[in-house]
Structure 1
């Protein structure tokens, strides 16, 4: 699809943009344009448009405001050594957004159109892509239900797909260093048959109370446990989890298996492959809170990390909960362990084009 482009006549100045790119933070500053594509049951997907970034006008009775029909994605584009800009596994994000749409009874955006929208926006806002290796352009595609009316007898018959972009630095303040996490036993993120594997706003809204509780306990993030027993580890508030058993070439990496209540992370999936590429055993399985605590005490579990698009790979140094606390490896004062570091370095190397991309994960946008 050819995207119609309406240029923003009020562009950010070069001075302002340079200052933002030097210290972008995460999700704070946005580029000059955005993408919009509308869908109706009668006409299907309309023309793709690149338009100036700005407020939306929607009816107060719009379905998304009352019934939460909304989904989103998150991925990054990276400056490459040859001067091009490439996105990491955009087809995987397109497929996940389609799965989310099916669960939420929404229109499915075709993969080709999804990827083309990324290219259209990055081409329009190429000057917003950071060129330093520790930064990227975060891309946020999302879709909202736009039919007007308060009936709940059927899903919306109209949707708007939007794409915005934000230059990104480190997700956690202070950069890559071990974080402290809180084991949530008062709240549940998702139950079987629910929307746990869907990337929808409601999941995150429901997590804020637990996130606030974690902050009250001096923690950076919350760790969700299973709904039935509050015993089995599932994921962090914004990341999947990986557990390292042992050390050196014989280290084994375990990530909680996808059961329908966990988000199927694209970074998680990539790291399972990267681990094998580096010679580590990697598998999906089950890890209980007791095993986590006892494994850290005995030394069987040597490292634990969170992984996701925003933070990439983040080491966990301390775990707190109602039953006390315990450290992972050298604790919150230590650094990332050798396996976590190796995984992160290899993945970031692929994303930034400084290491080979044997699996063809990077897709050139411009």
Structure 2
């Protein structure tokens, strides 16, 4: 498992580089042949290729992961793929190439894979634009979706994830010379400031709803009344009701500066993964852990999103964070604890086998 992970990490795969993604997909496909006995079905959406292995005619368990990373080509020069003191490092090792290796080994150990679908996508990091419909289609009707994203601190599973909405607010005014005729202008920066302050009030800390203004830009030169501006808004909500409320308030924004206009684009990106979507699966995996002689698992609610939000959003019981134990996702200290790879893969394999053996619903 360590060698397989080092191979995948050594093949860089930033989300925006289609050539790199193609090389990485070829390597993953080869792992599928080695461990599952067959190549992937390659599904192309808008020029992006996703990999699917489907066993049997009646899908019951979806195993889900992605191989794209946030790291640009050349990161291996400063963050090499290697093992030191029990830690495997390198770009994308923790998020989430070790999780993909765990999936292959877990599936290879099953006495039968009939009813399993393994889906590995290529655009999760920038928002799963081309893979969302595919993920939702594969998840519908399954007893469970098992997401191989990295585990939380201490190896915790991710039993709740906030929903994510993203907006871009465009402000339009009118340009004028700031010294000669400032009164002829309509100041887009001033309007932008009004909107930023208004949007900052939409968040509700008591309900764990965060509304964060991120990147902003306005104007052209230092002596011109700015005619245009824009800024970006990141929204995280624990419930679908809060997500809808924030969306309605964002779309009801009105200009404050006479003559200015405001336009809002974007919207809901991922629905929340609520605790009731993962509760039964979390109880099941803890029972299995005891049977295997492994320590009990903890659950964690996180603000970050994953493709598990989509599977939960279509009503499929979902358990997330089943991948590598380690830390440093998207950070310079990204790493995987090597000693945890095999136990977690055995646990995943046993969970899948248990779900396949179940004649009823995963939540039964």
Q: TM-score range by the shorter chain?
A: under 0.3
RCO comparison, higher one (Cα < 8 Å, 6+)? 2
Decide which structure has the larger Cα Rg and report it.
Answer: 2
TM-score, normalised relative to structure 2: 0.26
Identify, as 1 or 2, the structure richer in helix: 2
TM-score, normalised relative to structure 1: 0.26
